[in-house]
Structure 1
């Protein structure tokens, strides 16, 4: 199958980017190239509101460079969009003409509503959040949206960004205490002007480079053991700590902070204050990073134009389908194991065994899709590969803790290996939670052993309690000897978790 590449150029007020995507078998876009240029076009707007000759030259030189990179791919589509600085420039028609003349790009200037909308679209199509407020700080504008039940309710573009706030409030590279306090008062007044931002108690979702740097700093300070930035969650105290920590540093030290891009060192403080002031205005329930932003939103709209809606029905289902495609997983086997696992889970639940809750089933079902996907790499070290791949791969629709829980269940091999995988995250779980994860992992492992030959021989399960022991009757169609061998071998993990002896019997299904 021919590989299909798509490209987007995002002309921002602070940075310009070229991103190349590869469309995978499932139709999703995977980033394969990301080229950034710190053009700071905002600094080239004259007092009359025109992009200066020097600014136009910077824009054209950067676009020509991007064009050269893009030409090394056979592209299905190339999109070039511009935001606040070009939108606010009085000579935008001349800019569009010059860009077309020198590069051949048909540059589209996004309205403030479009810019906000694409940020919202990226968030609802790549996170599990159903109600939240998004904030995207650019160099020259800040877009906020409010969505509920994944539908856009409100959007607004504030005429300030990280660069303009720095220019308007700081005399030097770094602010004094008074300047920083004045900035906070201004931002609180601005955010209070929108009634729909008040006292929401819902997540604040940050988009863009400032939010990304903030999360990277937090992860480095905490020596965070999980990989990935997307869907990472911070609290109010985390935001306040980082803001105060950065404020104490001179520029030379600020430029060396782990996780902070050197080219953002002089604008990270205004960006951080925007997040913190908005968080306080909302009385948010948490700060979540979305690595997907405007560029992704533009392509989500393109990809879904034949669907009648730009919002994917289920973010997590899309991600799981992506994993199934990537690791060539056996869908027929997955569905059959889910059927057996649900029967066993339900009967354990009915008998009050294992302290199971209805919500636990959703986690088991989720992990059943990807159980031992590490087989794809190496069957001998399948558990290790499974855990590493799931714990360190961004899965849209799963917060970091949910992803870790899924990785622990889907990679379950035995108690020793489970403890080994859990070790860096041990403090994240109560002892009862650890026991529950072990039980759910061993249940899944046992049910997969009941379809070890992928023939769906075991049709159904019947659980009975006999004194302190459990008896599982497996109703079969066809020869069950390989499944019996594997089940007898694997039941010990379930026995240890339940603290029960399990007797197995295999009978021919009379139906």
Structure 2
């Protein structure tokens, strides 16, 4: 159900078996939303049930305390509505209705309990809107349940909610070997999980914690979890090492937070068991999950501005800067027009065109920080932004393209990230950076009065003819871009009447 309200702030509370999480989001007038606050409490509700399946008084007390805190935070932001959803934490309670009524009486919050299928579908919605999908599966490991979805071309083919999660599996006190065997036995009972998967995606806290630990160990330069890819063999080795550690070693050596010290092994065993069952070589981490899916469900409009995930995400990030959105859109349109004209000449793929257009939308996002060093601020702003629809190589590439001013500065920004973007890939990045500089020359506010622009190329010359009235142009900048085109594209730029 879509909730229509004039208030741009809404809050989402996710009651999980291990933790409760709060997300406060602001919906933007132009579309999309920005997360303005997130909180987490860990009442471990999966371990707060008695032998008959009733939530204990102590567990209920911790739940109410966390909900009252989240409610107060949401109200401080004037959030309306406050959406509260529960998963396996309350789904299988023997006294579920009594608990829900008492929550409403003590907090004023109305809780809706999601079925396993609903939980899986909402998590998948978040993944679908943040990672380009082909064919494969997603897995969301919670504290008390695990949701798996198989998909093809963005559509759900099968889904299953398993009645075990990181917290409940940890209570069985199994060795890692026995744990892996037990998990794979559960998967063996599902026919559609017995085929090789070309794409495998994990969401949830266990996957994110593992990814951060592996990134730290390998000194991975991009501090982003979303779209991070980890080979299955690396996960296998990491889990074997973590399983032998004491909780104190896990905290100090592997940088695992204290609320995950005792459940990280079963959490990753559940994921690794599926990777081995489906013969998957690599796992992609999703930084988006149930709360993001709920946010998408409750947006007044889910219609994207652009047909591409990458472009739409870049546009949403660009809207948060103070640069006029009309100028940003004009630059994207100009780079698209010029790109089509030189696409064959430079050997650009459709994906390369998406990347340079994404970079165009983000070109100005650092200028409100410091005008004189805007390229540096743009570069790091993009690396720290919540972009979607890109793998990490593309993410760094977009940052390099958007901040491009010269080959020398490109090398400086690229050097720390050479393990993600290769030197060969950097050649393409520079070509696209030069294309963006060229488009910027022929876009307002750099050039005004342009009514028509045509592009031709022959005999190593790129001829751009501009027509209009009262055309003004930054000649020195145009000459500098011409030098860049000569070096990167091996062509001479000619602009009749402006540059011969």
TM-score in terms of structure 1 length: 0.89
- Where does residue 151 of structure 2 map in the other structure? 147
Q: Does 1:206 align with 2:214?
A: no
State the Cα distance separating 1:368 from its structure 2 match: 2.4
Q: Does 1:102 align with 2:116?
A: no
In structure 2, which of residues 337, 347, 365 is the aligned counterpart of residue 373 of structure 1? Answer: 365
- Where does residue 40 of structure 2 map in the other structure? 36
- Where does residue 436 of structure 2 map in the other structure? 444
Between the aligned partners of 2:448 and 2:95, the Cα distance in structure 1 is 69
1:9-408 correspondence runs (5 A): 9-170=13-174, 179-303=175-299, 314-330=308-324, 333=327, 337=331, 341-342=335-336, 344-350=338-344, 352=345, 354-408=346-400
Q: Which moved more, 1:474-483 or 1:228-237?
A: 474-483
- Where does residue 486 of structure 1 map in the other structure? 477
State the Cα distance separating 1:417 from its structure 2 match: 0.2
1:421-460 correspondence runs (5 A): 421-451=413-443, 452-455=445-448, 457=450, 459-460=452-453
Kindly provide the CA deviation profile for residues 96-149 of structure 1, in whole angstroms up to 9, marking residues without a partner as x: 121122112212111111111111111112222243311111111111112222
State the Cα distance separating 1:273 from its structure 2 match: 0.8
- Asked if the contact 1:81–1:109 (Cα under 8 Å) also holds between the matched residues in 2, the reply is yes
State the Cα distance separating 1:340 from its structure 2 match: 5.1
Change (3 A) 1:111 1:399: same
Change (3 A) 1:423 1:56: same
In structure 2, which of residues 446, 458, 461 is the aligned counterpart of residue 465 of structure 1? Answer: 458
- Equivalenced residues, count: 492
Q: Which runs of 5+ in 2 are unaligned?
A: 1-5
Q: Which runs of 5+ in 1 are unaligned?
A: 171-178
Change (3 A) 1:206 1:359: closer
Between the aligned partners of 1:430 and 1:129, the Cα distance in structure 2 is 24
SS of match in other structure, 1:45:
coil
TM-score in terms of structure 2 length: 0.90
Q: Does 1:415 align with 2:419?
A: no
When the two chains are superposed, the root-mean-square deviation of aligned CA atoms in Å is: 2.6
Between the aligned partners of 1:297 and 1:345, the Cα distance in structure 2 is 34
Q: Which has the larger radius of gyration?
A: 1
State the Cα distance separating 1:348 from its structure 2 match: 4.2
- Asked if the contact 1:234–1:287 (Cα under 8 Å) also holds between the matched residues in 2, the reply is yes
- Asked if the contact 1:25–1:325 (Cα under 8 Å) also holds between the matched residues in 2, the reply is no
Q: Which moved more, 1:227-236 or 1:370-379?
A: 370-379
